[in-house]
Amino acid sequence: MMTRMINSLLNHLSLGNKLPDLLLFLISVSFCSFATGSERLELYFLSEKLLNNKIVPVQDVIQFNIKSRSLGFKSFSSGQEQNYTVALEKGIYPILAYSDNINGGNLSQTIQVGDFIFVGEEEANAKSGLIFGGGIFLGMKKIYGRGKYLDFNVNASLAAAPTHEWLTIRNESINACSRNYVKEWYFFDACANWKHNKRQFSDVISKSLSASFTRLFRVEKTFNEGSLTLKRFMSDEYQQMQGTFALNSLLPNGFKTNFSITAGEPVADLISLNYSLGTTISKHVKKRPLRFSLNQTLYDGGKFLGMGRKDITQKISLTYPIHSTFNTSIGYTRNVSSISSFSYNGPHIEVSFPTRSF
């Protein structure tokens, strides 16, 4: 069905070699872009829109052509072959944010378990404040078949706190995925991920292997992307199987929504993910995307000095690009633990800037 739809679009809006030079330029540039949104859902939405309208805005034609080629499908330009070379993107970006635990220290200097009170060193307490820094990004994309491509991304950043003797936070990540069109609007993805976070009192490395099944579908005027992901999470402390269901939707009133639920298998005697619930609602306000997010996670199963521990973390955030050159995110996090000394709450403030290619 998807093949027939794409071919029908190519016939219905056959422009052939009449595409303007600007369109061809946009195609070549977009092939090297690595979008953070769902290109598949956008392509599905544009496909339906173009098929059901005889008068089509030029911008929609351009966007369909861009998304189609980026995902390894045909474009309107019949004389242009698919590009099977490696697309490469490199960039740098600044970091400006507020952290409530710059050093990975203790959230409370005293820990009470039953009648016992433990007092930690003052120097090991969590430190909060503004952090400044920057990062580098490398992305590679290789189309190897119709609707099939490899994604490889490397990210590294370093930020420091000037008010705390330049304490640093290091982050590195590597993500590799094989993304595959199966049939109609069905897809299968397989990914491997590695992450490293280093602070003064913490050094955390985690890895994961995942497989995802995705289907795009329409319910009346709402366009949806549903996915089921099975993931093997691995850290120095434990390994865990996790399952995630996610639903992205484009609503007819202009709203975009995302809902996800993740469940983790029990891990004996170690605190680990029980479940995570998250939802995001976004809409363009004054031609810029306003995003509102809610999230709740439950970690349990572990013990601390013989006492069972359960942590519920709730997060709320609001994100909006106040200016065209930067994006602002503000939020609040609350963690309620069965061991009161591990409970905490605090604000989240971050200003993000676009990546500068080089």
User: Which whole number is the average pLDDT over 234-247?
Assistant: 96
Strands 272-285 and 203-219: unpaired
User: Which whole number is the average pLDDT over 323-347?
Assistant: 89
The pLDDT value given to residue 32: 31
Q: Which phi-psi region, left, alpha or beta, contains residue 269 (left: φ > 0; alpha: ψ -120 to 50)? A: left
What is the C-alpha separation between 69 and 191, in angstroms, rounded? 22
Quick count: other Cβ atoms within 10 Å of Cβ 299? 20
Mean pLDDT of the chain: 85
Quick count: other Cβ atoms within 10 Å of Cβ 197? 15
The pLDDT value given to residue 82: 63
User: Which whole number is the average pLDDT over 124-139?
Assistant: 94
Percent of the chain having pLDDT more than 70?
85
The DSSP secondary structure of 103-144, one letter per residue, reads S--BS-SEEEETTEEEE--GGGB---EEEEEEEEEEEEEEEE
CATH superfamily placement of domain 88-357: monomeric porin ompg (2.40.160.40)
Q: What is the pLDDT of residues 267-322, one digit of tens each?
A: 988 999 999 999 999 999 988 999 999 999 999 998 877 788 899 999 999 999 98
Yes or no: say if 140 and 152 are a contact pair by the CB < 8 Å rule.
Answer: yes
The DSSP secondary structure of 326-341, one letter per residue, reads EEEEEEEEEEEESSGG
Yes or no: say if 315 and 329 are a contact pair by the CB < 8 Å rule.
Answer: no
Tell me if residue 343 falls in helix, strand or coil.
coil
67: tokens are 């998304």
Q: Which of 311, 244, 255, 235 is nearest to 278 (CA)?
A: 244
Yes or no: say if 225 and 214 are a contact pair by the CB < 8 Å rule.
Answer: yes
Q: What is the pLDDT of residues 48-83, one digit of tens each?
A: 888 887 777 888 888 888 888 888 887 665 555 566
What is the C-alpha separation between 78 and 13, in angstroms, rounded? 12
Pick 1 or 310 by higher pLDDT: 310
Whole-model pTM over 0.85: no
Yes or no: say if 277 and 296 are a contact pair by the CB < 8 Å rule.
Answer: yes
| N residues, the chain | 358
Quick count: other Cβ atoms within 10 Å of Cβ 162? 11
The pLDDT value given to residue 158: 98
* Residue type present at position 103: N
Q: Where in the chain is the domain with CATH 2.40.160.40?
A: 88-357
The pLDDT value given to residue 4: 54
The pLDDT value given to residue 69: 83
Give the distance between the most distant pair of CA atoms in the chain: 81
The pLDDT value given to residue 109: 66
What is the C-alpha separation between 206 and 75, in angstroms, rounded? 39
Quick count: other Cβ atoms within 10 Å of Cβ 219? 8
The pLDDT value given to residue 93: 94
Task: Pick the most confident of 52-56, 97-101, 109-113.
Answer: 97-101
3-state helix, strand, coil in the chain (%, to 5): 15, 60, 25
User: What 8-state DSSP symbol labels residue 239?
Assistant: E
Q: Using pLDDT thresholds of 50, 70 and 90, give the confidence band for residue 234.
A: very high
248: tokens are 């992205």
Q: What is the pLDDT of residues 157-179, one digit of tens each?
A: 999 999 999 999 999 999 999 99
Yes or no: say if 265 and 240 are a contact pair by the CB < 8 Å rule.
Answer: yes
Cβ-based burial of 301 (10 A; exposed 0-12, middle 13-18, buried ≥19): buried
